[in-house]
Amino acid sequence: MTRDQTSSPARPAPSSPARRLQGEVIGKVLREQYETVLAEPVPSELLDLLDALERGEAPR
């Protein structure tokens, strides 16, 4: 085994259904928390990132 295989935790592949679901959940939670805690709408720059997460895409 290589060092990478033994030292890093197992993560789903970037395009796997598990990874997309993970991104979707994280995106929704972040969006809700932002709006709840700050009592403001999410800025458009952040919305783009959250939308990408929810689609399971890597934000750029």
Spans of all domains in the chain = 15-60
Distance of alpha carbon 23 from alpha carbon 34, whole angstroms: 16
pLDDT of residue 49: 87
* pTM greater than the 0.75 cutoff: no
Long-range contacts of 29-36 (CB under 8 A, 24+ apart): none
One digit per residue, the tens of pLDDT, for the chain of length 60 reads 555 555 556 666 666 788 788 888 888 898 899 889 998 888 998 888 888 888 877 666
Q: Computed over its alpha carbons, how large is the radius of gyration of the chain?
A: 15
pLDDT of residue 37: 92
Element (H, E) at 15: none
